[in-house]
Amino acid sequence: METIVKNRVVDVYTEMTPNPETMKFVADVNLFPNNSADFPDEASAKNSALATELFGFPFVKGVFIMNNFVTVTKTPEADWFEITPTLREFVKNYLEDGKEIISSAFKPSGHASQLSEEDVVNKIKEMLDSYVKPAVEMDGGAIQFKSYREGKVELLLQGSCSGCPSSVITLKAGIEGLLKRMIPEVQEVIAESM
């Protein structure tokens, strides 16, 4: 599972997230394909050299690594305007140097052992809040978590999403695909329209 990028020029750009304390650093290479690693504090980062080095910055409070991006949570007193160039340059150089990102000793949650139903629900809500809701809201709609039972996630579609012909495609190809990839317990996503 060792993830390393070898000797190439890497492009890294930033994206704001709905959470003002987090910033997404997106690379043009995969860092941790089809998986995620959440490091809410420095102690949890022992199996990720990248996360460990990011925690070396006094303003880094949390690190999340997934597919082709790193999401950094900053301390409340830090200002993104001041720290973003430093973090972007650090991530770019780190990846170009081909250093290890996630060690083979890392065991992703949900793969090593089954998550409790409460953990699955929390992870579903986190994924919806971070990756789905902002896009849906840009299109004039809303999506809400309704329930999770025996592998089925039920969502409520509102606004422009309700009754939209492309909402089924978005739901199945986008949302269901994302949730199934990131949370192995999810088997199906269904929607109820308002």
The predicted-structure confidence for 54-64, as pLDDT tens digits, reads as follows: 999 999 999 98
For residues 61 and 117, the answer to whether their CB atoms sit within 8 Å is no
The predicted-structure confidence for 116-175, as pLDDT tens digits, reads as follows: 788 888 888 888 888 788 777 777 778 888 999 888 999 887 776 766 767 777 777 778
CA distance 32 to 113: 19
The 188-193 sheet, strands edge to edge: 141-149, 152-159, 188-193
CA distance 143 to 137: 8
For residues 46 and 59, the answer to whether their CB atoms sit within 8 Å is no
In the chain, the domains with their CATH numbers are: 12-96 (3.30.1370.70), 117-193 (3.30.300.130)
For residues 61 and 74, the answer to whether their CB atoms sit within 8 Å is yes
The structure tokens listed for 87 are: 């973090």
The structure tokens listed for 37 are: 């690693």
Range with lowest mean pLDDT among 71-75, 90-94, 159-163, 189-193: 159-163
